[in-house]
Structure 1
Amino acid sequence: MAAVDISPAAALHRRAKYPTPTALVYEGQEFSAADLSRTAVELAAGLAERGLRRGDRIAYLGFNSVTFLHALFAAAHLGAVFVPVNFRLAADEVRHILTDSGAHTVVVEEGHRELVESVLGGIPARRHILIDTDPACPADVAPTATWTPLSELLGPGRPEREPVPLHDDDLGALMYTSGTTGRPKGVMLTHGNLWWNAVNVDSMVDTRSDDVNLAAAPLFHIGGLNALTLRTLLRGGTVVLRRGFDPAQSLDDLVRHRVSTFFAVPAMYAALARTPGFAETDLSALRSAVVAGAPVPPQLIHDYAERGVLLQQAWGLTETAPFATYLPAGLTQEKAGSAGAPMPYTEICIADPVTGARITEADTRGEICVRGPNVTPGYWNNPEATRAAFDDAGWFHTGDIAHRDKDGFYYIVDRLKDMIISGGENVYPAEVERVLAACPGVLEAAVIGVPDPKWGETVQAVLTCAPGTSLTLEEVREFAGRHLARYKLPTRLLLVAQLPRNASGKLAKGELRRLVEADAEPAADAV
């Protein structure tokens, strides 16, 4: 039997043939599926004229926009590989990604043009496209001969071709990890990986063909792109797309557009909950509020439940496209803190991080491992990293520490590399952070290990507090001591106005450490 074509470009083309609701709302403009498909086809033809071929990489650097989606669908139309680049990266990091991916074409918003120009001499890209078609990011400066305006690639009259058929093993995207342990690695995501995640989501989450989805998380992040956004566009719903996340704007969008599905990281949900008017806002249309990307404080779950919104936790990584587990809405409070059970078409196990042996006992911690059609085949041009991540049985070792309860639900404890060893005892920062986040007056909590001459490492807490609140280390230890063993208690405390986060909403541990190093504070007795 012939392989099934799962090209997103072909799916968008099919949707365009039928009367469906508005496909995209972006910066005051509305786009039908036919509008999106037509522009993507024109862009594909223009890119093909400039040499982009099947298997070539096309990189995109800019904020969330309709042009991001045009470029993604145009790449799929040609069978090219889409490489979304984190818009917060420095020039050296961008150079690495463009060089490592071997990008043939780079599509850039005006606000990032100078950064890319600074690295052009050291990257292989042969085509440099400057976006001049989006009023939300106008090209203010006349481009040099180096740049081709995007508008020159659009318009009718070019030979049109049908979308290239794409199957499970065809490479769809390279998404670079944050690089917290070194240079970012290019996660290879096949069209099968992306497609099977949508099957998992639609099998477990209450999604419907006429959903209205708010996309405010960065699209260069797998959660922002493939948790709900792509499946909504391709299945017949409406995506309300924002260039970035603004809590007040998002709260207004949820009400005005009657948003039914929303993916966000915990920090985004927390910011929404602190927005004036949140307590009175009508959120009755919000049926599937999915939260992932970082540990979810139980207090956040309870705060939303009081508003009638059941936050549905999920867990995964870029390498799992993104979801591997999911907690249904009906268990939100009963299993608060759990990342859920395995997705229907994904296998999960827990392994001893030292021996690799599978752990079958309930409530025993180990490294969580994933296997299934949504899991990456490996890292681009990095066979060593691929071999290190996969065992002989095909299990992907995530580096996350978890345990499974007697009912089969998983609880993510922390990253293996973030574990603190204090006096020979293992301390998991996420466990401590969950307790500290419940301390009266605390808005957000972060915990890292810092060197200690007596214990090897000790626990450093970094907190943000509500206006008018100023906690002492003794107060924090007294509260946390009701819930944690003494060796897990913070021995150092730093209060900050805001926790440093990357564009994906995750704690920027490197920047956090720099803040801590700049703060000199004697440690409390950790015995």
Structure 2
Amino acid sequence: MAAVDISPAAALYRRALYPGPAAVIYEGHEISAAEIGRTAREFAAGLSEHGLRRGDRIAYLGFNSATFLETLFAAAHLGAVFVPLNFRLAADEIRHILNDCGAHTVVVEEGHRELVTSVRADISARSLLLVDTDPHCPTTGEPGPEWTPLSTLRGAHRPVREPVVLHDSDLAALMYTSGTTGRPKGVMLTHGNLWWNAVNVDAVVDTRADDVNLALAPLFHIGGLNALTLRTLVRGGTVILRRGFDPARCLEDLVRYRVNTFFAVPAMYTALARTPGFAEADLSALRSPIVAGAPVPPQLIRDYGAMGLLLQQAWGLTETAPFATYLPARLTLEKTGSAGLPMPYTEIRLIHPVTGVEIDGPDTQGEICVRGPNVAAGYWDNPDATRAAFDDRGWFRTGDIAYRDKDGFYYIVDRLKDMIISGGENIYPAEVERVLVEHPDVLEAAVVGVPDPKWGETVLAVLTCAPGAELTVEEVREFAGRHLARYKLPTGVQVVEQLPRNASGKLDKRELRRSVTAQATVATTV
């Protein structure tokens, strides 16, 4: 039997053959599937004339937009590899990624043009395209001769061949990890990885062909792109697309568009819940609000549950495209804090992080390993990193620590690399953070290890607090001591206005360690 074509471009074009709702509502402007398909075909033809071929890499630098999605579909049409770039990266980081992936073409929004121009002499990209077709990011001034306006590629009526047939093993995207432990690595996601995640999601989440999905998380992040957005586009639903996240506008969109599905990181749900009018808003259409991408405070789940909104926790990484586990809505309150069960077509096991021996029993912490058709093929041009993370049987070592309860549900403890070793004892920051955010005056909590002459490392808590609240380290230790062993208690506390986060909404602990360690106040007794 011949392999099935799973090209997202082909799927979009099939959808466009039938009348239906708008495929995308971008900043209030409705765009049909036929319009997106037509633009993607014209774009693909123009890219082909500029020399982009199957397997070549095409990068995109900009905010969430219709052009972002059209670039993805045009790349799939040609069988090229899409490389979405984090729009918050500095010039040196962008230079590294463009050289690492060997980008043939770079598509750039106006706000990032100067950055790319600054590294132009150091990258080998053959074509720089400037987005001049989006009124929400208008061009200013003369871009320079090295830039080709995107309109010149999309405006001509060229003959367009049919999209390349794509199968499971064909490379779809390179998505670069945040690089918190060094240079970012390019995660090789195949079309099979993207497709099988959608199969997993549709098997266990209450998703439907005509869903309205709100896309606010950055699309360069696998959660923003492939948790729900791509599946909604190719299956007949509508994506409400915003260039970024604003809590008040998010609430308006959820109500106005009767949103059914929504993926966001915990910090976004926290901000949404604090928005004036949230408690009175009609969110009855919201069937599947999924929370993932960072540790989820159980109190956040309970707060939403008290309003009748069942946040559905999932867990995964860029390498799992993104979901490996999911907690069904009906178990949200019964299993609060759990990341759920393995996805239907995904295997999970726990191993001892040092010996690699598999852990069979319940309530024993170990490193999570994942295997399945949604798991990435490895890291681009990085065989050492690939060998370190992927074994010859297809198991991916995630670096996340978890345990499994007697019913088989998984609970994420923390990242292995964030573990604090104090006096020979292992301390997982996420465990401490979950306790600290239960304090009535604490809004957010982050825990890092800091050097200590006696214990090697000790626990530093960095908090954001309610207006007017002042917490001492002794008060924090007294509260946390009701729930945690003494060696896990913070010996230092600092209150800040906001915690540093990357563009994906994840806590940036590397930046946190740099910025607060020297300023912490230390407990007088430990």
Fold-level similarity (TM above 0.5): yes
CA distance in 2, matches of 1:233, 1:287: 18
Give the superposition deviation at 1:28.
2.0
Q: 2-side partners of 1:205 and 1:130: how far apart? A: 38
SS in 1 for 2:521: coil
Match of 1:362 in 2: 362
Trace 1:110-125 onto structure 2 (pairs within 5 A): 110-125=110-125
Greater displacement, 162-171 / 391-400: 391-400
C-alpha separation between the residues in 2 aligned to 1:399 and 1:314?
17
SS of aligned partner of 1:118: helix
Q: Could you say which residue in structure 2 is the equivalent of 1:171?
A: 171
Give the counterpart letter for 1:151 in structure 2: S
Kept in 1: contact 2:450–2:517 (CA 8 A): no
Q: Distance in 2 between matches of 1:278 and 1:65?
A: 26
Q: Does 1:415 align with 2:411?
A: no
Q: How does 1:40-51 map to 2 (within 5 A)?
A: 40-51=40-51
CA 1:523–1:472 in 2, change beyond 3 Å: closer, same or farther? Answer: closer
Deviation, 1:517, is: 2.7
Tell me the distance in 1 between the aligned counterparts of 2:235 and 2:309: 24
Per the alignment, residue 347 of structure 1 pairs with 347
Which position in structure 2 is the counterpart of 1:322? Answer: 322
The residue aligned with 1:224 is 224
SS at match of 1:400: strand
Q: CA deviation at 1:217?
A: 0.2
The answer to whether 1:58 aligns with 2:49 is no
Matched, 1:372 2:368: no
**Contact map agreement 1:83 1:174 (CA 8 A) in 2:** yes
Q: Secondary structure at the match of 1:385?
A: helix
Tell me, in whole angstroms, the C-alpha distance in 1 between the residues paired with 2:500 and 2:319.
Answer: 24
CA contact (8 A) 2:493 2:520 kept: no
What residue is the counterpart of 2:202 in the other structure? 202
Q: Post-superposition shift, 1:308? A: 1.1
What is the RMSD of the two structures over their aligned residues, measured on CA atoms? 0.8
TM-superposition CA deviations, 1:181-232 (whole Å, max 9, x none): 0000000000000000000000010000110000000000000000000000
Q: Is the 8 A contact 2:266 2:295 kept in 1?
A: yes
Report the equivalent of 2:383.
383
Question: Following the alignment from structure 1 to structure 2, what is the Cα–Cα distance between the partners of residues 27 and 184?
Answer: 31
Note if 1:434 corresponds to 2:434: yes
Letter in 2 for 1:67: T
Opposite residue 294 of structure 1, the aligned amino acid is: A
SS at match of 1:71: helix
Say yes or no: does 1:108 pair with 2:129.
no
Whole-Å separation in 1 of the counterparts to 2:392 and 2:44: 40
* 2:182 paired residue number: 182
Shift of 1:156: 4.5
State the alpha-carbon separation in 2 of the partners of residues 28 and 417 from structure 1: 42
Contact 2:494–2:520 (8 Å) recurs in 1: no
Distance 1:3 1:38 in 2: 26
Following superposition, the deviation at residue 473 of structure 1 comes to 1.0
Matched, 1:81 2:70: no
CA drift at 1:275: 0.9
- How far apart are 1:170 and its partner, in Å? 0.2
Residue identity in the other structure for 1:257:
Y
Check conservation: 1:420, 1:459, Cα contact below 8 A: yes
Give the alignment's TM-score, normalised by structure 2: 0.99
| Equivalent pair of 2:474/2:523 in contact (CA under 8 Å) | no
Matches within 5 A, 1:134-283: 134-283=134-283
Q: Distance in 2 between matches of 1:400 and 1:238?
A: 34
CA–CA separation in structure 1 for the residues paired with 2:424 and 2:174: 40
Secondary structure of the structure 2 residue equivalent to 1:162:
coil
- Deviation, structure 1 residue 520: 4.5
**Superposed CA offset, 1:335-356 (max 9, x none):** 1110000000000000011111
Q: What's 1:92 paired with?
A: 92
Matching residue of 2:36? 36
Residue aligning to 1:492 = 492
- Contact 2:211 2:260 survives alignment (8 Å): yes
Amino acid at match of 1:404: R
Match of 1:306 in 2: 306
Alpha-carbon contact 2:338-2:410 (below 8 Å) kept: yes
User: Is contact 1:492–1:524 with CA below 8 Å preserved after alignment?
Assistant: no
The 4+ residue runs of structure 1 with deviation greater than 6 A are none
Aligned-partner SS, 1:353: coil
- Distance between the aligned counterparts of 2:347 and 2:130, measured in 1? 43
Match of 1:508 in 2: 508
Q: Is the 8 A contact 2:214 2:239 kept in 1?
A: yes
1:360-405 deviations in Å (ceiling 9; x for gaps): 0100000000000000010000000000001232210000000000
Query: C-alpha offsets along residues 35-54 of structure 1, whole Å, 9 cap, x if unaligned?
Result: 10000000000000100000
With 385-394 and 178-187 compared, the bigger mean Cα shift is at 385-394
SS in 2 for 1:279: coil
SS in 2 for 1:314: strand
Q: CA deviation at 1:276?
A: 1.1
Q: Distance in 1 between matches of 2:299 and 2:440?
A: 11
Determine the C-alpha separation between the residues in 2 that align with 1:211 and 1:268: 21
Helix, strand or coil for the counterpart of 1:378?
coil
Give me the whole-angstrom Cα distance separating, in 1, the residues matched to 2:189 and 2:522: 47
Contact 1:217 1:224 in 2 (8 A): yes
- Read off the aligned partner of 1:221 and give its amino acid letter: H
- Post-superposition Cα deviations, 1:443-481, rounded to whole Å, max 9, x if no partner, equal 100000111111111000000011121111111111111
Give the counterpart letter for 2:158 in structure 1.
Answer: R
Say if 2:76 and 2:164, in contact at 8 Å, map to a contact too. Answer: yes
After superposition, give the CA deviation of every residue in 1:380-434 in whole Å (9 maximum; x if it has no partner): 0000000000123221000000000010000010000100111111110000000
Alignment length (residue pairs): 526
Q: Percent of pairs identical after alignment? A: 79
How far the C-alpha of 1:273 sits from its partner, in A, is 0.6
Q: Aligned-pair distance for 1:26? A: 0.6
Aligned to 1:468: 468
2:492–2:520 CA contact under 8 A, matched in 1: no
Query: In the TM superposition, what is the alpha-carbon distance from 1:521 to its structure 2 partner?
Result: 2.4
Secondary structure of 1:36 counterpart: helix
Q: Which amino acid aligns with 1:296?
A: V
Which amino acid in the other structure matches residue 517 of structure 2?
Answer: E
Cα drift, residue 498 of structure 1: 0.4
**Shift of residue 67, structure 1, vs aligned partner:** 0.2
Cα distance between partner residues in 1 of 2:141 and 2:156: 27
Question: SS at the partner of 1:445?
Answer: strand
Cα distance between partner residues in 2 of 1:405 and 1:497: 37
1:241-263 per-residue CA deviation (whole Å, 9 max, x = no partner) reads: 00000011101100001000000
1:450 corresponds to: 450
1:524 & 1:278 partners in 2: Cα distance? 42
Distance 1:79 1:224 in 2: 22
Letter in 2 for 1:467: P
Q: Given residue 167 of structure 1, which amino acid in structure 2 is its aligned partner?
A: H
| Structure 2 runs not aligned, ≥5 long | none
2:302 & 2:520 partners in 1: Cα distance? 36
Distance (whole Å) between structure 1 residues aligned to residue 136 and residue 88 of structure 2: 18
Paired with 1:376 and 1:268, the residues of 2 have a C-alpha distance of 27
1:19 equivalent in alignment to 2:19: yes
